Amino acid sequence: MSAIGLDVVGIRTDPDLEKAVRAGLAEVEELLRASVRSEFSFVTETSRHLVDAGGKRFRPIVVLLAAQFADPQAPGVVPAAVAIELTHLSTLYHDDVMDEAPRRRGAASANARWTNTVAILTGDYLFARASDITADLGPEATRILARTIATLCEGQIRETIGPSGGEDPVEHYLRVVREKTASLIATSGRLGAMLAGADPITVDTLATFGEMFGVAFQLSDDIIDVASDAAASGKTPGTDLREGIPTLPLLYALQTDDPAARRLRELIASDFAAGGGNPDDGVAEALELLRGHEGMARARRELAVWSARSRDCLAPLPDCPAKTALLSLADFVLDRTG
């Protein structure tokens, strides 16, 4: 498997489930495009920029799989999946502004194509459209998504200001991950099950799975950012380092005082210009130091812990193709890191 999305083992091995999820995703795509349409054609253009760029629609897939534990044809399931994806897309517009990212999903980012102001306002517009959709799903769904958006914002602010004095940087980072990444995946599981009519225990179980899996998914991204090469991952290695984001492998490495850790501190303090003066060379050196450091091994062990937690929390659910698919997601985050 090279990507999440429909390359999930539990989906591929069950034709009926795969057919159901594909049909649900087709409905999601149709409603997603309708939802970003505005009377102002320029707003439609900017809003469709990332919609048309594609993506795995991973969060909508989690919504659709969670709905399989009750009535997957319930009328609120697809709109919930769209509201979740709109929320995710809105955060990408905002992230690209904060990171000054020139590209997103193989195309020019909205801020690069237009301006930061246009990108920010487009993200706000998508937040509003997501809220409009959930308003039709009832006050509880609206409240859940609103609180999730607040959590996402808190996580982003927490990451921006960094750990407070005396706070463990690793604990701070894991909290950021739970707020900024895992919370929306948790809500994907919660809304999918809830709007399909699942019982409260099942709803809570799928939300917990989403949170545990969401942390594991982000940690696997951290490891790939260090361990992979561009040809294998399709991404530029060391992106987090370049953007000044201390992810788990680096945080664990910096807890030590061996020669590699000391050199990493020098490189970071100089914005990766220490030694040769070329930041790209400095990032390449930092990546080599991290790849051979115990910090990477510790990060892999932490990933395995969160993957196991996500698997374990599914134990009370009845055996079915959707459960197999969710279990395969938990395995996937380990497999994708090599």
Can you spell out the DSSP letters for 272-323? T-TTTS-HHHHHHHHHHHHHTSHHHHHHHHHHHHHHHHHHHTTTTSPP-HHH
pLDDT in tens, 170-207: 999 999 999 999 999 999 999 999 999 999 999 999 99
Q: Quick check: 123 pLDDT over 50?
A: yes
Report yes or no on whether pTM surpasses 0.85: yes
Cα 40 from chain centre: 30
Question: Distance (Å, rounded) from C-alpha 86 to C-alpha 127?
Answer: 7
What's the start-to-end Cα distance of the chain, in Å? 11
Q: Check residues 27 and 231 and name the one with the higher pLDDT.
A: 27
More confident: 234 or 30: 30
Asked whether residue 7 carries a pLDDT value surpassing 60, the answer given is: yes
Can you list the domains of the chain with their CATH numbers? 9-256+293-335 (1.10.600.10)
Predicted confidence (pLDDT) per residue in 194-203, tens digit? 999 999 999 9
Question: Is 2 a residue whose pLDDT tops 60?
Answer: no
What is the total residue count of the chain? 338
Residue 53 and residue 89 in contact, taking contact as beta carbons nearer than 8 Å: no
pLDDT at residue 110 is higher than 90: no
List the Cα angle 235/59/206 in 5-degree steps.
130
Q: What is the pLDDT of residues 210-269, one digit of tens each?
A: 999 999 999 999 999 999 775 444 457 888 888 888 999 999 999 999 999 999 999 999
